[in-house]
Structure 1
């Protein structure tokens, strides 16, 4: 999938999703206050150097899947990297079309894939649906709290 195809898929598949694009990176929110996205699409090394996103045509889709899904895929989440580094999971964070822990936010149960394609597309769709469902549930619960 291309970047525009991913953006279109997310915004057309999931209700009430808003996308904010800043400096070429896209952030997908269900939260009307836009506090924290459930998925992001990044296109440069502005946030980390792990995936070498400055390569022509390379982008990374990041998905907040929740701890249960993360652990079922990769085991226990690693600790946050120190000093702005990347997590040590043994993954090649530059590999294309492979779902892996997020190089920085794996501790928060985020996964990623560079240039999702034939090998990962169906799993990516399932993971996006799970991230969206978790975000909707979180905000529904928050709205139910007394003011």
Structure 2
């Protein structure tokens, strides 16, 4: 997990939000990571992250069995078209395999539990693509476009 976070930190204009105990974020988010395109270093007010890493089951999302030891899931907004091009499996709990995000798959999110030799390289490439797409959206919005 830390290798992925460290890689994303190299992206120009990235903000990696990593809530920790005692901070201003809810306890449920502690230990997770949220990736934004935010060149000013502030969490965007009207934008969701383009990628996340979750380290535990959430109350409304237990399908990836993340409460088991040493499990985490990378979630990436790739868009519906790109998601349709990826080798997505059916089991959101399968390790080192891509699947539609258990909750946001219809919105173009994909996920991978414990990326390894079969998925790690593509996970990093997809995070880069998602970052660049977030940059493009931000630049359009800043120019007054859609």
* TM tier, smaller: 0.7 to 0.9
Count the aligned residue pairs: 129
Q: Give 3-state SS (helix, strand or coil) of 2:9's partner.
A: helix
Q: RMSD of aligned C-alpha atoms?
A: 1.8
**Which of the numbers 27, 36, 43 marks the counterpart of 1:29?**
36
Counterpart-to-counterpart distance in 1, 2:86 and 2:67: 28
The gaps in structure 2 that reach 5 residues or longer are 20-29
The Cα shift of 1:90 comes to 7.0
Matches within 5 A, 1:1-147: 3-12=1-10, 14-22=11-19, 23-31=30-38, 32-34=42-44, 35-46=47-58, 48-73=61-86, 91-145=90-144
Give the TM-score normalised by structure 2. Answer: 0.82
Question: Residues of 2 paired with 1:10 and 1:90: CA distance?
Answer: 25
* Equivalent residues of 1:66, 1:134 under 8 A apart: no
Distance change (3 Å), C-alpha of 1:90 and 1:114: closer
Structure number with higher relative contact order (C-alpha < 8 Å, ≥ 6 residues apart): 1
Flag as ranges the 4+ runs of structure 1 deviating above 3 A: none
> Compared with structure 1, are the counterparts of its residues 130 and 57 closer, same or farther at alpha carbon in structure 2 (3 Å cutoff)?
same
Distance 2:62 2:101 in 1: 12
Instruction: Return the alpha-carbon distance in structure 1 between the equivalents of residues 91 and 43 of structure 2.
Output: 35
Ranges in structure 1 where 5+ consecutive residues have no aligned partner:
75-88
Contact (CA 8 Å) 2:15, 2:43: kept in 1 or not?
no
